[in-house]
Structure 1
Amino acid sequence: MVESKPFGRTKNGEESTLFYLYNNQGHSVCITDFGARIVEINVLDSLGKIDNVVLAYDRLEAYENDPAYLGAIVGRYASRIHEGKFEMDGKTIQLSKNEKGNHLHGGANGFDKKVWKSKTESSKGFERLTLSYFSPDGEEGYPGNLEVSLIYTWNNESELRLDFSAKSDQKTIINLTSHSYFNLSGFAKEEILDHLLMINSKSFAPMKSELVPQGTLEEVSETPFDFSCFKAIGKDIADQDPQLKLAGGYDHSFFLQAGNSLIKAASLYEPKSKRLLEISTTEVAAHLYSGNYLPNVLGRNGMPIGPKKGVALEMQHFGDTPNQPAFPSTILEANTEFKSSTLYKFTTVESIVNQINSNL
C-alpha cells in the first residue's frame, strides 16, 4: 500500500508531498518529493518496537534551510569539487561555489532543493515510488540537459532499493547518492559512537585541508580507518590521526570493488536494539560521515539531532574525481545512460559474532 499526504508548499509556491510505503511486516518508509528525501524508515527492534532509524525534520521549511542534507538525494555531483571547476575536452567548466570556495553536493540549489515529479505503484510483494527531475543545461554550471530518474522499492523483506538512471544530451559529469543519516537505536536515542560498523574495503581516500581528496588511496590496515571487521564507530574517532583531526571525525570515502552487480559494501549494527543494516551497491566508494557537525535541533516528532547523532553511509564515486585522473571516471557521455543501484536491508540479530566473517 502507498499513501500520500500533503507536505506544504515551498517558498517558491510548489506543492510537496509525503509518500508512505508499507510492507506486510508493518514496516514502512516515508519519502518526500522535495529533494527525493528519505524522511522515515520504520523498522522493528529485537523486542518488537518500531522506530524511525533515520534523522529527519517535521516541516518542509526545515528541509529548505537544511545545512546537513538529511535524507536527500544530492547531485548532480555528490561531495566536493575543488574550486568548483574542472577541465573537459580542453575547456574549463566552472560550477557554482557554495562551500569555502568549493562546489559541494551539486551547489547551493542542487537536487536536494528541487521538487521531483512522482509516480507510485503497488504490487504483490513490493511498493514502488518513481521520482524524476529535469536539470537544464547550465544549472549550477553543469553542461547538458540531464534527465534523472530514481526508483524507490520497498519490499516485504524490509529491503529498500534505490535504482538511479540518468541521460544527458551533452557530455557532463554525474555522481548521485542518498545522504540519509542512520541511527539504529531508533528515534536517535543514543549517539552513533557505539554502533558497530564494517566496511568491505582495504583502502580509503585521504583528504586535503579543504576536505577535498588528495587523489590517492591509502591502506586502512593498522589505522583508525580499518573497519574490515565490526568495530565501534567511536573506538578510534578521538585518535590523533591527522585525517581524523582534520575532519573532526570520519568524513572519508572507502574504495569498493563494485561493478554492474550489487556487492555487499557495509554493515551497521546497534547492540541495544539489535538492529542490523546491510548495504549493497554497484558504486565504487562508500563515504563514511560520522555526523561531526550536525546542527543541534529538534527533528521529526521531537527527535534530537546533533553531532554524532547520525551516521551517513553514502554509496557514490569519489569527490573531486574530475580533477583526479587516478579515480574511476564520473564522466557521462552524451546520450548514454548512467545507472547505479543501492540496497538497504533491515533485520534484527541477537549477535553479530557469526556475522563478522559471513556478511562481507
Structure 2
Amino acid sequence: MVSKASFGETSDGKNIDLYTVKNPSGMTIRLITRGATLIGVDVPDRDGRFDDVVFGFDTAEEYESDKYQYFGCTTGRCANRIAEGKFILDGKDYQLAVNNDPNHLHGGAQRSLDKVVWAAEPFEKPHARGVKFSYTSPDGEENYPGELAIEVTYTLTDKNAIRIQYKATTDKATPVNLTNHSYFNLSGAGDPTINDHVLTINADRYTPVDDTLIPTGELASVEGTPLDFRTPTRIGERVDQLNDTAALGYDHNFVLNQDAEGEMTTAAVVYDPASGRVLTVRTTEPGVQFYGGNFLRGDTGKAGKPYAYRSGLCLETQHFPNSINTPDFPSVVLEPDQTYTQTCVYAFSVR
C-alpha cells in the first residue's frame, strides 16, 4: 500500500509531499519529495513490537533549518568530500563550494540534491511497492558540469527490505557519487547509544585520511586497528581509541571485498542485542562509509526525541571520498554515452 499526504512547503513555496509505504507484514517506510528523503522506517523487534529506527524531523521547517546532519536524504551530486572543492575534468578547472572547511561535502551548500524538491511517482507491484523520484540538475548547478538527469527508486519488499536503485545520465562529463544518508539506531531512533550494537563490515582495507578527512590515496589493512570489523564487534569496544583522530571516532571509508566491479556484495551487518533487530546492507558500490554519530549533540528529532552523541550510525554505500582527484581510486566520472547505476539494499530481520 502507498498513500500520499502533504508535508508542508519549502521556504520558497514549493509543496513537499509525504509518501507512506507499507508491506503486508506491517513494515512501513515514509519518504518526502524534498531531497528524495527517507524520514521513517518502522520495523518489528524480536517480540513483534514496531519502532521507528531512522532519524528525521516532523516538519519541513526543521529539515530546511538543519545544515549538517543530512538525515535520510539522497546525497550528491558527489557524496562525501572533495579536497578544497577543486577538480580538473577534460582540461577545465572547477571550484565547488567549500561547505566543510576546507573541503566540499555532499554536493554543496545551496542546491545539493538533499535541498531540492523531486518529482515522485508511486507504484505498486506484486510483492513490492514504493516511490520513484526524479530530478534534473541543470548544467552548472553547484558549479558541477553537465545537465544530470537522476532517478532514485525506493522499493519496499514483502521480505522487509528497502531496495534503493539509482540511475543517472548526463550531457557532459561530470563526477557522480550518490548515496543515502540515513542514521540508524536499531533500538529505536532516540535511544541514547549505538555503542552496544554489534557490527560486521566486509572489508580487509580502508582509506586512511589526512587531518581534514581527505584520503591519502593509500589502501591500508584494517588488521590490528580499531577499524577491523571483519568479525562481529561491539561498536563501542574500541571507539575511544579514535577520539583524538581527525574523525573523532568512526567516520571512515571501507574498501569492500568484491569479487568483481559492480557485483552485489554484503557490505555490513548490524545486530542490536537489546531488540534483536538485524540490519544487513548490500550494495554494488566499492565502498561504505561507516559514521558513528560523532557530531550528534542532542538536537531534537521526531516526536521530541533527542539525538544524542553517538546515538545513530550511517552506512553510506558509495565510491571513495575525493575519488575525482585520486586516479588510483575507482572513477566517479560519468560520460555522456554512459548510464550511472547502482543499488543499495537495507534488509531487516530479527534474532
Counterpart Cα distance in 2 of 1:99 and 1:222: 30
Pairing partner for 1:130 from 120, 129, 132: 132
* Equivalent residues of 1:158, 1:347 under 8 A apart: yes
Per the alignment, residue 212 of structure 1 pairs with 214
Instruction: Please report how far the alpha carbon of residue 87 of structure 1 lies from its aligned counterpart in structure 2 after TM superposition.
Output: 1.3
Aligned to 1:21, the other structure's residue is in SS state: strand
C-alpha offsets along residues 56-75 of structure 1, whole Å, 9 cap, x if unaligned?
A: 11111111122210001110
Counterpart Cα distance in 1 of 2:160 and 2:263: 20
Aligned to 2:315, the other structure's residue is in SS state: strand
* Equivalent residues of 1:170, 1:335 under 8 A apart: no
Aligned to 1:140, the other structure's residue is in SS state: helix
Q: Which runs of 5+ in 2 are unaligned?
A: none
Counterpart Cα distance in 2 of 1:97 and 1:12: 24
Matched letter for residue 182 of structure 2:
S
Per the alignment, residue 281 of structure 1 pairs with 283
Matched letter for residue 55 of structure 1:
F
Is residue 246 from structure 1 mapped to residue 254 from structure 2 by the alignment? no
Per the alignment, residue 342 of structure 2 pairs with 340
Matched letter for residue 197 of structure 1:
L
Counterpart Cα distance in 2 of 1:320 and 1:142: 15
Counterpart Cα distance in 2 of 1:257 and 1:176: 20
Q: Which runs of 5+ in 1 are unaligned?
A: 350-360
Instruction: Please report how far the alpha carbon of residue 4 of structure 1 lies from its aligned counterpart in structure 2 after TM superposition.
Output: 1.0
Pairing partner for 1:176 from 151, 175, 178: 178
Per the alignment, residue 256 of structure 2 pairs with 256
Superposition pairs for residues 36-185 of structure 1, below 5 Å? 36-66=36-66, 67-109=68-110, 110-185=112-187
* Equivalent residues of 2:190, 2:308 under 8 A apart: no
Counterpart Cα distance in 2 of 1:311 and 1:75: 19
C-alpha offsets along residues 262-305 of structure 1, whole Å, 9 cap, x if unaligned?
A: 11110001000010000100001010000100242121112221
Give the TM-score taking structure 2 as reference length: 0.97
Superposition pairs for residues 291-330 of structure 1, below 5 Å? 291-330=293-332
Counterpart Cα distance in 1 of 2:98 and 2:226: 32
Per the alignment, residue 4 of structure 2 pairs with 4
Please report the RMSD computed on the Cα atoms of aligned residues, expressed in angstroms: 1.1
Matched letter for residue 84 of structure 2:
E
Counterpart Cα distance in 2 of 1:224 and 1:142: 36
* Equivalent residues of 1:163, 1:340 under 8 A apart: yes
C-alpha offsets along residues 92-141 of structure 1, whole Å, 9 cap, x if unaligned?
A: 12112212131110000210001100000112211120001110000111
Aligned to 1:182, the other structure's residue is in SS state: coil
Question: For this pair of structures, how many residues does the alignment match?
Answer: 347
